[in-house]
A and B are shown apart, each in its own frame.
Chain A
Amino acid sequence: MSFDPAITLFSCHYTSQQSCAEEGKELEQLGFPSSINLVRVPCTGKLQVTTLLKAFEDGADGVYVVGCPEDGCHNVKGSSRAAKRVAAVRAALEELGVEGERVQMYHLPRGLHPEFVAKAKEMDARIRDLGPSPFSN
Chain B
Amino acid sequence: MIVAERKPLAEIVEMVQDCKKVLVLACRGCVTVCSAGGEREAEILSSLLRLGMKKAGKSIEVSTASLVRQCDREYIDEIDQWDGQYDAIVSTACGVGVNFISNLRKDTMVYPALNTSFFGGSAEQGEWTEQCAGCGDCVLHLTGGLCPVARCAKSLMNGPCGGSVDGRCEIDRDVECIWQSIHDRLGSFDRAAQMEVIAPIRDWSTAGHGGPRKIVRDDLTV
Contacts and interface: CB of A to CB of B under 8 A. Distances in A.
A86 to B, nearest CB: 14
B40 A96 contact: no
Contacts of A135: 51, 54-55
Main secondary structure of the interface of A (DSSP, over half): helix
Nearest to B59: A137
A57 B47 contact: yes
Contacts of B51: 53, 56-57, 96, 135
Contact of A53 (B8, B10, B13, B47): B47
Contact of A50 (B8, B10, B44, B57): B44
Contacts of B8: 95
A134 B44 CA distance: 18
Interface string B101-140: 0000000000000000000000000000000000000000
A137 B55 contact: yes
Nearest to B50: A57
Interface of B: 8-10, 13, 40, 43-44, 47-48, 50-52, 54-55, 57
Interface of A: 48-50, 53-54, 56-57, 92, 95-98, 134-135, 137
15 contacts: A50-B40, A50-B47, A53-B48, A54-B47, A57-B47, A92-B9, A96-B9, A96-B10, A96-B48, A97-B55, A98-B55, A134-B55, A135-B51, A137-B54, A137-B57
